[in-house]
A and B are shown apart, each in its own frame.
Chain A
Amino acid sequence: MEVTTGWYLVLGALIFTIGGVGLLLRRNPIVMLMCVELMLNGVNVTFVGLATEFGDINGQTVVFFVLVVAAAEVVVGLGILVAVLRRRPGATADDLVELKG
């Protein structure tokens, strides 16, 4: 038995789907951000799997940029969350509907 690229693609799809379902199921905004990280990691697994398959280093370069964007996203997202949750402790994603102008 040999590990083929298809295995990596299926695993990436599984991680992506679990993250997506978690994003829809959970109400805690912090956990929702973690689920977004899961989805990004699923895509990263796919990129690296295909990069090795093609012998193309550009797939790994894309993963590098995904890491940078994920870091920036988490910094800004958690900053907003801290600002919201300090004012309204225990706010869920549904409570953010009150944010108006």
Chain B
Amino acid sequence: MIDVIVFACAAAMCLAGAIGVVAYRNPVYNALSLVLTLFGVAVLFVSREAHFLAVVQVIVYAGAIVVLFLFVIMLLGVDKAEELALDSVGAQRPAAVVFGLGSLALIVTMIVASDDPITGAGNVEFVDPEQSNVSRLAFSLFDDFVYAFELTSVLLLVAVIGAAVLARKQRRSDEQVGA
């Protein structure tokens, strides 16, 4: 029973935050609604015994990514006057809603209509109940997927260099404009 209550609260958090991200006009409210959704997802991770991912979700998403969003919003100034009326393709808004409802109906029908929603080959991997979530994840990450893990470091390096280049170029052209 407690499972259902936890799931209901977390799902309500997720959906309220998700709708807030789309509906609020002020970008700061959007970012804070995103935090609500991310915390809800972290609660769902805990309820599925993905403890490490729940912690990482809070630290990386809520702690780093949303702060980055807020930093950029503050840097550029809050632009409340976003032209929601502006619509280059006249039918885009209704088309977007139809697309959303249609794809949602499709996915939910696929999940609900099938007797056994869990398809695919069952896991053949030996699962040791003694092992904690963190150590199982560590074995998966540093053993099976060690090359992918190393490649993510390259990805992060490229992202850092890209961000630095973008920021530096901007400053140089500002000086040219100022001169």
Contact = CB atoms under 8 A, between A and B. Distances in A.
A90 to B, nearest CB: 6
A24 interface: yes
Contact of A71 (B11, B65, B103, B123): B65
* Interface size class of chain A, counting residues whose CB lies under 8 Å from the partner chain: 35 or more
Interface in B135-179: 136-137, 139-141, 144-145, 148, 152, 155-156, 158-160, 162-163, 166-167, 169-170, 174
Contact of B53 (A27, A64, A86): A64
Interface of B: 1, 3-4, 7, 11, 14-15, 18-19, 21-22, 27, 30-31, 34, 37-38, 41, 44-45, 47-50, 52-53, 56-57, 60-61, 64-65, 68-69, 72-73, 75-77, 79, 81-84, 86, 88, 92-93, 95-97, 99-101, 103-104, 107-108, 111-112, 117-118, 120, 122-123, 125, 127, 133, 136-137, 139-141, 144-145, 148, 152, 155-156, 158-160, 162-163, 166-167, 169-170, 174
